[in-house]
Structure 1
Amino acid sequence: MDWNWLPTSFPVPTDDISQQYEVRDALTQRLEVLRCAPARSIDHPSLTQIEGFIGWLLKSQRTVRQGHIPSGSWGIPEDLAIESDAFVDFVLKPTYAAVACLCLVRKDFPALAESLQPSLDRAIADGLRFSRLKNLRGHGYDANDECLDAVRLLGLGKVFSLTRDEERFSQVFADVIDTVERDILEHMPKACDWSRTGGLERQHAVRVLRGGDTNDAIVAPPVHAKWASENFAVYLKVVLRNSIQYITPPAIETAATEMISRLDEARTHFEEIKPKYAVFGSRRSVKGELQDTVAELNVRFAIDLAIGETRIPEWLAPISNRLVERRLIPHLRDTLPDVLTNGLCDHPYFGSEAFSPYVSSVSFDEDGYLYMALGVMG
């Protein structure tokens, strides 16, 4: 994460949806890192970067009422009079994240917070006042889920404990906390269809509302689990790319050697399917498969080599090579045919042939050896 990146234009043009998502997600990610990343983590910002980010938040708060929409938000689009679902996504959620960041600084960085007064407390109070608009509820079928997500965001900033500790903020937001807790306990369990929420998620939200937001053991694990999942997906992509680099050259040579040894068969087969070229005076591509061939190549060994040279990222618990292999095999099955076909078509031996060789599919036996279904096309 680049803590030095801040939107140069805020608010964002109303029709620039991708930029609005980028700003919203950047606010959420900064909040998560500020609360959940260890101080010595490579992702954790320096005090100077935190000060710069908080200064940007204080300058970016919307201080002018817009029609019936009050001031105090960090609404991202220029025009706040937008559809209800977009209002939740691009006005309420970034406001929750921004308020949470300010409250977290107020609680955990007292010297920095003191240097920003009275602007900091005023911005927090105005942001909390704006956050009352829907009592943290979302829109439509997602209203309950989005309420629980709002509790999660505000909990990351210790908003609920700060609100109870400070009378100035309690006057603004305490009744909202009570309303949300009552809604979670009394109304959400009765929801049906798309509005249903999980019991564990509701219990977690209540614990956060009741002061659990100061306990890292309650607040941080969901964020760490999300980071682990995201990092695992990135890790798999890198291992997949490296595995293909090990597999491709010997597999192409094996396929080319097999095709050359069966060249007469391939030529005859192509001659048999070639009349299908002509379709109403035009030409179209035709394909015909030969038999499977086995490569003297164990993909399990290639994956192990790729794993060995790939750094395991932060937030990823130790994982077995076999688990990685199970996740990669379907991707290899989908990816390798095109990669190997391109390599075969570039092979100098087949430049003078009327047909082009191709790999229609690959499979792997229980020991990890690669099988390729070869064919000819024109």
Structure 2
Amino acid sequence: MLNHRILSRFHEPLRARTEGSHDWLDACDWDATRIAEALPDIEVYVGSRLSAEDARRAARLRLVHVVGAGYDGIALDALAPGATVATTHHHGRSIAEHVLMSVLMLSRDVLGADRALRAGRWRNVAVDPGLAFGRTLPGRRVGVIGFGETGTEVARLCQAVGLSVRAVRRDPSAPFPAALRPDWVGGNDRLPDLLAESDIVVVTVPLNPATRGLIGPDELAAMGPGTLLVNVARGPVVQEEPLYEALRSGAIGGAALDVWWSGPPQAPSRLPFHELPNVLMTPHHSGHTFDTFAARAAEIADNIGRLGRGEPLSGVVHAGDRAAGDHGHPTGHSTVSSPAGSPASPRS
């Protein structure tokens, strides 16, 4: 069963790469009752959320394949004993390009110039001698919080345009691409040093109990005026009210926020970030490129093939009790997606 609206747009590549006896069930437009009725026969579920109630219904479930890196939306404790959970990434380059774009837009006040010209006003230093100059990138310092796939891709692009990089991560001794030459990589205890030394701070860590509220009043004060904050991780990693106040008061220079404290259909924040001229707001789409999801579709399809052949899966984050010895060919509904309106049928 496929229950992920973005990935459903890749149903043909998924179909082409999963040869065998599979029923393709695209549940993106199904109501909760129809999904509940289908779950008892499902062996593979592809999506980002699976409630405890739905997980308990899926007693034959063998693989939950998350469409992304975060699996906090999957009720692990309610899964069938033999169910494995795997994730997929491929978003690092897309998010890194978004980060670089955001830094450039904030550094050159692109949004302010755009708003003014749409209103019929020319806003540049030639006509307004009081307007601050924009900044180019070489020589400025980027601090990356988290140095996994996204963090290292951010570092790679930043170094390519002349920015210097430092980073903190949970395990500073973990390897990173040999081509990177950061100023330093330290443990989380060096976060105060990173904040004090950086002109641009990029947040890329996952949300967990250790990172929730990681950036608060003290950390924002350590950045100082002029520092730009880019959050492409999760909204609650940064404390909402202190960030708003730091931006409103000018305690920091600006922020690019792609992640928020609530999601649709609610407003992204209960505070009026949209009224602040030094904030770039995007709707959690920094990784939403064709390249990201084409690569994810290919990896998910390949993992389903491995499941059927009894081979080890990639990206496993939760191994079911029977996962190591129960990899026979799926016989019920497995993966995913047929075009809307088309009948799902077994293939051999």
One fold, TM greater than 0.5? no
Larger Rg computed on CA atoms:
1
Q: TM-score scaled to structure 2, two decimals?
A: 0.20
Q: TM-score scaled to structure 1, two decimals?
A: 0.19
In proportion to residue count, which structure has more helix?
1
Q: RCO (CA 8 Å, sep 6+): is it higher in 1 or 2?
A: 2
